[in-house]
Amino acid sequence: MRSIELLCPAKNAETAFEAIRCGADAVYIGGPSFGARAAAGNSIEDIRSICDFAHLFGVRIYITLNTILYDDELRDAEKMVAQLYDAGVDALITQDLALLKMDIPPIALHASTQMDTCTPEKARFLERAGYSQIVVARELSLRQLRAITSAVSVPVEGFVHGALCVSYSGRCYVSQHCFGRSANRGCCAQFCRLNFDLVDADGSVLSTGHQLSMRDMNRTKSIEEMLDAGVSSFKIEGRLKDINYVRNVTAHYRRQIDAIIERRPDEFRRSSFGISKVGFVPQVEKSFNRGFTDYFLHGRRPDVVSMRTPKAIGAPVGAVRRVGKRSFTVDGTVEFANGDGLCYFDADGTLQGFRVNRVEGRELFPLRLPASLRPGTELFRNEDRVFEKALHRTPSERLLRINITLTEIPGEGYALQAVTESGVECQLDFTTEVQEANTPQSENIR
């Protein structure tokens, strides 16, 4: 039986706690330094509190120490690893092989996607080197995934959701070359999200737009295929995403994976404990996304780029019917709410956005009516106020199942034992005199 892990991101302690409550089996988060998201560092004290809470449910905490280290940083990195180990961290996600030679505690090492593991040979090398889990490159197909998982005995981790890089995993140097900001040092300048012209050899512009801006990954429909290909850890990208994003996406994939485990209990089991309760229905399409793709999982395909904009436009909600002085009306059946965020592409193809201040049926009153809004314009909703409120309406919680047993000890009294599903147990023995009931009910018990 294979243990299956849902691995979720967190930029800070608050987000980590929420990911755990919503069903994460493991959480990856940045330490004080040396992570590939320079803006998402956390103190040792915060990480210790996260570990203490996570371990109640068998949830593991992974620290991203996945930058390339300079020689003068090795000693500080070594010291930080010791502090993380003492705080209870379960593993480090690393890129620099220098960690293998350091004098560090016996903490598990995971090979980051920045290592660009895309062949069975590379995976076998990393396993022999001592890595206990391997994060494979995002751009692999199911066939390639199956070849890698068949070549190693350690768990293989694959991405299922989140932002995509146009380059090969861990091999993008354009930010460093153009701006002096290295992606492998946690300072990517997002060069691929810029607007470009595609020009031929004669200088003619063939097309213009966000030529390199990838859609976001969404492999909801392919989780079972990835399981059958041997993937054991399903990773959500997004260490810079806000808490609502993590809450929604975590709850969504928890449901998907649990449904498969329930159908195939002899093959798979969950890698942590507890029942997660959330007060909303997860809808990943309502969290930030640039449009979805399963990337190259089923082979190379052309619809992986978000050419019009690198921003989230949301779902289509109707077309403008009439524009007045301070309001406009919308065709369709979608209901709107005060505070909704709407957007559209103007005549020049530029994305414009505004917030709805008041709703009267099909008539919407923005805070400021955009001058470029025209009848027939297609509208999108990139912030759903009703859904956002639902995310906060009922606090998420995670509960452990407890089995309680009362046993009679002849001549002594009773023993009350409680055992959680995570294996924690306690027992209370108490002495009492047993007396016959004045009115026995044994005959009434069936």
The pLDDT value recorded for residue 444 is 67
The pLDDT value recorded for residue 146 is 99
Write out pLDDT tens, residues 9-27.
Answer: 999 999 999 999 999 999 9
- Give the pLDDT band of residue 440 (cuts 50, 70, 90): confident
Give 154's DSSP letter.
Answer: S
Q: What's the pTM?
A: 0.92
The pLDDT value recorded for residue 230 is 99
Domain boundaries, the chain: 2-293, 315-393, 401-444
- Give the pLDDT band of residue 245 (cuts 50, 70, 90): very high
- Give the pLDDT band of residue 446 (cuts 50, 70, 90): low
| Side-chain-side CA neighbours of residue 201 (13 Å) | 0
Write out pLDDT tens, residues 80-125.
Answer: 999 999 999 999 999 999 999 999 999 999 999 999 999 999 999 9
Question: ∠39-45-48 over CA atoms, to 5°?
Answer: 105
For all residues of the chain together, what is the average pLDDT?
94
CA distance 251 to 387: 14
Write out pLDDT tens, residues 225-237.
Answer: 999 999 999 999 9
The pLDDT value recorded for residue 281 is 96
Strand 205-209 vs strand 275-277: parallel, antiparallel, or unpaired?
unpaired
Which SS3 state, helix, strand or coil, does residue 160 take?
strand
CA distance 382 to 305: 19
> pLDDT at residue 35 above 90?
no
Strand 413-420 vs strand 402-409: parallel, antiparallel, or unpaired?
antiparallel
Report the C-alpha dihedral over residues 144, 94, 125, 270, rounded to 10 degrees: -60
Please tell me the class of the 315-393 domain.
mainly beta
- Give the pLDDT band of residue 436 (cuts 50, 70, 90): confident
The pLDDT value recorded for residue 135 is 98
443 or 82, higher pLDDT: 82
What number is the average pLDDT over the span 213-228?
98
Give 397's DSSP letter.
Answer: E
Of the ranges 32-41, 313-322, 433-442, which is most confident? 313-322
Asked if 8 and 26 count as a contact pair (C-beta separation under 8 A), the reply is: yes
CA distance 151 to 144: 11
The pLDDT value recorded for residue 58 is 97
> pLDDT at residue 411 above 80?
no
271: Cβ contacts below 8 Å, ≥ 6 apart: 3, 4, 5, 25, 26, 58, 60
Write out pLDDT tens, residues 163-211.
Answer: 999 998 888 889 888 999 988 888 888 999 999 999 999 999 999 999 9
CA distance 183 to 163: 14
| Side-chain-side CA neighbours of residue 40 (13 Å) | 26
pLDDT > 70 fraction of the chain, expressed in percent and rounded = 98
Asked if 35 and 67 count as a contact pair (C-beta separation under 8 A), the reply is: yes
pLDDT > 90 fraction of the chain, expressed in percent and rounded = 84
243: nearest Cα among 251, 235, 233, 255: 251
The pLDDT value recorded for residue 195 is 95
The pLDDT value recorded for residue 250 is 99
Q: Which amino acid is at 381?
A: R
2-293 CATH, one of 3.40.50.150, 3.40.50.300, 3.20.20.70, 3.30.230.10? 3.20.20.70
437 or 207, higher pLDDT: 207
The pLDDT value recorded for residue 445 is 66
Radius of gyration of the chain (CA): 26
